[in-house]
Amino acid sequence: MQVADQGPAVWQSVHCRKRSAPYLRRTVAPEGDAEQQEPARRPPTAQQLAALLGRQRAHLRRLTLAENAGHWDVPAEPMTAVLAAAEPMAAVLAAATGDGSGLTDLTLVISEQLPDFVMETLPGSAAQLTSLVLRPLRGHIPFLRFAQFDGRLAQLRSLSLTGRFQTGEAAEQLSQLTALTRLRLASAQPGQPDVSLALLACPGGLARLELFGVSVELLNVLHLAHMRWNPFPGFGPTDEQDHLIQQVHNLGLLPSPEELAELESAAALAPPPAPGLLWPPAEGSIGALLLPRWQQLEHLRLHKCELDDSVFLALPRLKQLTMLQLSAIVRTERAVAAVQECSRLQELVLGRLSTMPRDAYQLPAPTPGALPQLTRLRLSGCEGLSRVDEAWCSLPNLLSFEVESCDDLTCPSLAGLTRVEQLVFSHQRLEHLPDSITGLTTLTRLAVTACSLEQLRPGPYLRGLRELNLFANALRDVPEALAHPHWGSTALHLLDMSSNHSHFLSDADVAVLGQLSVLTSLRLGRQEFDASDAHPAGPLAALRVALPDCQINA
């Protein structure tokens, strides 16, 4: 936004935010206009923004438009202020998405809510629009309504919403987004609002679904049908339950009295399920209802979510699923039992798994032969996780093993990682690497960051490394193991030892680094408050002579 009308390449990606808008204002006034003499930090008006983006809309591909980007008068009253800020925002949006607009990706940054008339500027004009993101201004949590996303945006392939959702809100309009393949719902409010109805309303073509801080716990629709058709005398549904029943009915999912009788008869004749997690989710459960809608899912992220048990029963039946991130309030054994049946998984990220927020827990072993295609396993933010069964490090095709911010975890034996190429430890208590690392001869990337590492263990694992990241540890010198005559890291291209605050470059360090002849990037940066915090000038000059083709950041 700091340049004027300079051609298509400049205007393919445009950000209209509070900080960038003043720079934009300097581009909108005609040459010689007296307004050019005004302070450069003054934001542009809505008319100026609209005029500029209107001229360039044929070149636009990506636009970020914040509610506070321009200079427009906003009343102090909260609700009046929302409407007043939205009007110029709508005018700018209408100009950017008018006839001939090439806009494909739109991000709107809002404070309290998005008035309908802002969304009404899009249909029929932004014909190329395929991605829409709504996210909050800093310090705000906007209220979002699913009813605003309907057939007027039928061409959308990606929708991302971050804000405040209302449990049980009408969501049937989402069924009109027939081209949607990617959906992201992130709650920015305390608690986990239930988004089951929104998920049930979505078409069945989703390939990527990301849920953050929400719950998926809709009551079994057979129970809801009983409340509607066969209530206990004197115990009819509450107003809240009646509203939920109506929303399920609007989605066409509430069984009729005849259908309810047939389903119950079939359930009575069915044999009891065998122990384990291999049977399908119960008829009418949220897991059973979502299963046909999730058949195309390839990428599923469930972060800090509360999930009905039937959702876990559905996971093994998602035959296209190759990536799963799971962080939920659930028994660890149930989560592992479901995950290990996802036979096509290639990437698995496990976060906090527990029924209680502060419980200590362990990760039990998967059954032999499980997860045959898994190539990446990441444990991230597993508060309370104390032990991981070594069988996880013996999965046959694992190429990447990563542990991040699992404060209580004791490092498992790594000896079973016979094919691993990438090993990552971040924000762990790991002063010394375990002995079992030394035999990992297939490693090409090792990252041990913010782990208080004091020394690097020598061994054959160093020989094939091309990238070594030792950022923010407790190292006092460049590890001599890197220049070991038999196991040295002679193939190393990148070495990061920045923010090791006890390390000052020495002649001995230069001698070690000088043997890394193919090194192309070396990071030794320190946080410098005065001259005494800098690396000594002599060794640094000698290092630049020893590695003339290496980019050194010190």
Phi–psi pair at 104, nearest 5 degrees: -115, -30
Q: What does the block give as tokens for 344?
A: 């096509």
What pLDDT, on the 0 to 100 scale, is given for residue 31?
Answer: 41
**What integer pLDDT is reported at residue 375 of this predicted model?**
98
Residue with tokens 């004027």: 4
d(CA 440, CA 104): 46
Given a contact cutoff of 8 angstroms between Cβ atoms, the answer to whether 96 and 137 are in contact is no
What one-character-per-residue DSSP string does 438-472 give?
Answer: GG-TT--EEEEESS-------SGGGTT-SEEE--S
pLDDT in tens, 393-406: 999 999 999 999 99
Strands 299-307 and 347-353: unpaired
SS3 category, 425: strand
49-81 residue pLDDT tens: 888 888 888 888 999 988 888 665 554 455 455
- Scored b (16 or more CB within 10 A) or e, 443-471 reads bebbbbbbbebebbebbebbbbbebbbbb
Residue 146 CB contacts under 8 Å (≥ 6 apart), including other chains? 169, 170, 171, 173, 174, 198, 201
Query: What is the signed CA dihedral for 257, 259, 265, 269, rounded to 10 degrees?
Result: -160
At 249 the pLDDT is: 87
d(CA 424, CA 469): 9
What is the spatial distance between Cα 525 and Cα 496, in angstroms, rounded to a whole number?
9
* The predicted structure's pLDDT at residue 34: 43
The amino acid at residue 535 is: H
> From CA 32, how far away is CA 35, in angstroms rounded?
8
Q: 3-state class of 294 per DSSP?
A: helix
| Structural domain spans, the chain | 324-420, 432-554
End-to-end CA separation in angstroms for the chain? 32
Q: What is the pLDDT of residue 40?
A: 46
Cα 254 to Cα 237: distance, rounded to the nearest angstrom: 15
Question: Which phi and psi angles does 200 have, rounded to 5°?
Answer: -70, -25
pTM to 2 decimals? 0.88
Largest distance between two CA atoms of the chain: 90
Confidence (pLDDT) at 416: 95
Among 508, 497, 476, CA closest to 552: 497
Q: Which residues of the chain have pLDDT under 70?
A: 1-11, 18-43, 70-85, 123-126, 232-236, 269-278, 355-358
| Residue closest to 13 by CA, chosen among 2, 22, 23 | 2
Count the neighbouring beta carbons within 10 Å of the beta carbon of residue 280.
15
- In SS3 terms, 309-325 reads as HHHHHHHHHCCCCCEEE
Within 10 angstroms of residue 272's Cβ, the number of other Cβ atoms is: 6
- For 204, the token pair is 């069945």
Quick one: residue 276, left, alpha or beta (phi over 0 = left, psi -120 to 50 = alpha)?
A: left
CATH topology for the 432-554 domain: 3.80.10
328's enclosing H/E stretch is: strand 323-328
